[in-house]
């Protein structure tokens, strides 16, 4: 997520509220004053200019639990964003999770303006909303009273409540200007705006007060405490990563996706890194965050609500870069291709069998296979990964996500997925590596065609002409028996019945030992066949209903 995730930015829409040069000069003075005071105060208001429409008023307040450095950074970022996004408006308010900043040509420090508020909710509700809403109401009323009247830290209170064997974390705050009954009124009004249905997290921010709760801890027990996950790979300090990426600047961006932004950076020792900043709106929770950690990242950072994954930068970028470029593909010799195949299989075997929990990637494709300087592959982008219990074999979802050409057909049609779904994707990638063809391109015009790479490979297999599948750029510089065995294994992986597909540990064994006899493959799955089958009501009722509400996928694009 962003270092100071913004909940909202409101601005005046009055056509007469346009900055004059004098107001702009006064505004620059007060914003600079706010930033200068943010290092030693959690609340501050400032004015500049003579009385009249050109006089500028501004204030900020930071959450009572954050440190002085974070407060300064948050206020500075809010001031910069307001200047960039609202260059002409006289009155603006910026809401971040950690701070609020507001300015106008009138005194606003005491003005509650209840119509100006921002919010964020969890997309997931609790199972018993009535009981949970009672827990929220009881806890919040206690904290509101503490913040308004009895708090040792004026205007601020926090607490933890237990709900259904889980902790829920609460925080309320008012600016010092509205303590007492005005603070209580503001927070009670904010509490009334919590969405019914029991969302698992809610953040309600008003100009002069805020309250929030979440099942994930988001506040510190002291201002200087860093809440970091102490298991797994190396832990990084947030300031180091912020500096490495030039404060997560646009110029440092490597790419954007539905689950976050990836930045390029360099550590103080010169090591280049890629930093994935997970979006708070992506739906990736604590478990999904942990799926990226084992053997895949150089380090992690989870600090309050910031979730960052730090990778060693892959100088050769991703596998699809080589497969989609004829010139680069010609540099990819067979031994390198074979190393990539075995490396991917080891990575999947670890996810499926050696990790503490089974991990199903669900979006395995060449663009998610990163290559280091030695062309060793690393599986990346676990935004869609799902965790299984050790004794769990498959799961179901009402929203199918992934990339056409790599998704197993039973997953597309029924929503059911398992480790064998990843095995199918692996088989497709092996055929792509050998042939130099991207299977997703076969689906450019008809996603359910049976004329794609898989069926082309199957026909060549039946005809005993499988060598015709080999990428012409390899010439004769490859081991014929080794290539044929890899194709055979790939065809076993893309068989229609998931139960017939081998496990990844068996795939590794078959790759490493040429003495193990391989069973004959059955035909690969056909989307066209299965869609037709579905339309003739041949699927069981639960499968048909799963498909009827609509699956979400795209052609060569993650959904």
- Asked if residue 263 lies in contact with residue 189, where contact means CB atoms within 8 angstroms, the answer is no
Cα separation, 353 vs 362, in Å, equals: 16
Cα separation, 33 vs 417, in Å, equals: 56
Cα separation, 277 vs 1, in Å, equals: 5
* Close Cβ partners of 247 (under 8 Å, ≥ 6 residues apart): 3
14 carries an active-site annotation: no
Q: What are phi and psi of 221, to 5 degrees?
A: -80, -15
The two beta strands, 369-371 and 358-360, are: unpaired
Burial class (CB in 10 A: 0-12, 13-18, 19+), 521: buried
Cα separation, 264 vs 93, in Å, equals: 31
- Asked if residue 155 lies in contact with residue 173, where contact means CB atoms within 8 angstroms, the answer is yes
Catalytic residue from among 363, 381, 422, 471: 363
> What SS3 string covers 528-554?
HHHHHHHHCCCCCHHHHHHHHCCCCCE
Q: Is 339 annotated for ligand binding?
A: no
The Cα-based distances of 468 to 142, 434, 449, 514 in angstroms read: 74, 11, 21, 22
> What SS3 string covers 208-266?
CEEEEEECCCCCCCCCCCCCCCCCCCEECCHHHHHHHCCCCCHHHEEEEECCEEEEEEE
How many Cα atoms within 13 Å fall on the side-chain side of residue 346? 12
Q: Which residues are catalytic?
A: 363
Please state the residue numbers annotated as binding site: 276
Please state the residue numbers annotated as binding site for ATP: 276
């Amino acid at each position: 997520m962003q270092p100071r995730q913004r909940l909202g930015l409101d601005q005046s829409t009055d056509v007469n509220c346009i900055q004059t040069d004098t107001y702009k000069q006064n505004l620059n003075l007060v914003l600079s004053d706010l930033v200068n005071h943010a290092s030693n105060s959690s609340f501050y208001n400032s004015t500049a200019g003579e009385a009249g429409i050109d006089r500028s008023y501004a204030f900020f307040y930071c959450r009572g639990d954050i440190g002085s450095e974070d407060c300064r950074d948050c206020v500075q970022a809010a001031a910069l964003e307001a200047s960039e996004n609202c260059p002409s408006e006289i009155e603006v308010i910026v809401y971040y999770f950690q701070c609020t900043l507001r300015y106008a040509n009138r005194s606003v420090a005491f003005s509650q303006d209840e119509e100006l508020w921002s919010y964020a909710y969890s997309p997931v509700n609790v199972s018993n909303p009535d009981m949970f809403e009672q827990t929220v109401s009881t806890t919040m009323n206690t904290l509101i009273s503490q913040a308004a009247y009895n708090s040792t830290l004026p205007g601020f209170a926090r607490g933890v409540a237990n709900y259904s064997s889980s902790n829920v974390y609460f925080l309320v705050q008012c600016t010092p200007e509205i303590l007492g009954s005005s603070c209580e009124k503001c927070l009670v009004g904010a509490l009334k705006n919590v969405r019914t249905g029991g969302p698992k997290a809610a953040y309600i921010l008003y100009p002069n007060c805020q309250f929030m709760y979440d099942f994930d801890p988001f506040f510190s027990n002291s201002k200087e405490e860093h809440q970091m996950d102490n298991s797994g790979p190396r832990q990084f300090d947030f300031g180091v990563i912020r500096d490495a990426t030039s404060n997560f600047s646009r110029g440092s961006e490597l790419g954007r996706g539905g689950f976050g932004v990836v930045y390029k950076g360099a550590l103080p020792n010169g090591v280049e890194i890629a930093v994935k900043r997970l979006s708070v709106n992506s739906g990736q929770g604590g478990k999904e965050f942990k799926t990226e950690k084992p053997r895949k990242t150089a380090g992690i950072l989870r600090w309050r609500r910031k979730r960052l994954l730090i990778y060693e930068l892959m100088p050769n970028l991703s596998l699809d870069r080589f497969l989609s470029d004829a010139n680069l593909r010609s540099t990819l010799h067979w031994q390198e291709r074979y190393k990539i195949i075995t490396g991917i299989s080891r990575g999947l075997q670890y996810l499926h069998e050696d990790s503490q929990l089974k991990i199903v990637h669900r979006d395995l494709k060449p663009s998610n296979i990163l290559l280091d300087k030695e062309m060793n592959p690393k599986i990346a982008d676990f935004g869609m990964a799902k965790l299984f219990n050790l004794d769990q074999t498959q799961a179901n979802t009402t929203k199918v996500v992934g990339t056409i050409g790599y998704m197993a057909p039973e997953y597309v049609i029924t929503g059911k997925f398992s480790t064998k779904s990843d095995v199918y994707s692996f088989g497709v990638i092996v055929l792509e590596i050998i042939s130099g063809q991207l299977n997703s391109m076969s689906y450019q015009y008809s996603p359910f065609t049976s004329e794609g790479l898989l069926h082309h490979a199957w026909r060549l297999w039946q005809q005993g002409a499988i060598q015709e599948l080999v990428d012409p750029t390899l010439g004769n510089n490859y081991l014929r028996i080794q290539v044929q065995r890899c194709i055979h294994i790939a065809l076993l992986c893309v068989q229609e019945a998931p139960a017939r597909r081998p496990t990844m540990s068996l795939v590794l064994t078959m790759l490493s030992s040429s003495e193990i006899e391989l069973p004959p493959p059955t035909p690969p799955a056909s989307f066209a066949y299965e869609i037709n089958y579905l339309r003739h009501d041949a699927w069981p009722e639960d499968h048909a209903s799963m498909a009827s509400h609509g699956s979400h996928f795209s052609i060569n694009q993650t959904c």
